[in-house]
Amino acid sequence: MSTELEKDIERKAVAAAKARGWISYKFVSPQQRGVPDRIFFREGKTVLIEFKRPGTGRLSKLQELQINRLREAGIPVAVCYSVNEAMEILG
């Protein structure tokens, strides 16, 4: 089991995505708690990612609700437990 923290996975994934041409913003919505951590944009594509720590990171009920809402609206949302998993999603 990895001991890497969620914030470290997120930071490394953002750096790797940037190297592949993605633009990334931290997703903070004061009126809508539980939204995914990051929004990624490249070549007309948008992907949202919630980062979690391997083995111990679980989605809260509010995060599940927000992710389901976004997916129902046709927005790609992934939950990633590693940098490699995020890069697989982002291509």
Number of domains in the chain: 1
Give residue for tokens 């890069």: 87
**Position 1 in a domain:** no
Domain that holds residue 68: 6-73+84-90
The residue among 43, 41, 39 whose CA lies nearest residue 10 is 39
CB half-sphere exposure, 25, CA atoms < 13 A = 8
Per-residue pLDDT tens over the stretch 71-87: 999 999 999 999 999 99
The yes-or-no verdict on residue 1 having pLDDT over 60 is: no
**Domain containing residue 65: CATH number:** 3.40.1350.10
**Is the residue at 78 inside a domain?**
no
- The predicted-structure confidence for 5-50, as pLDDT tens digits, reads as follows 999 999 999 999 999 999 999 999 989 899 999 999 999 999 999 9
In angstroms, the CA 21 to CA 67 distance is 25
Band of pLDDT at residue 2, cut at 50, 70 and 90? low
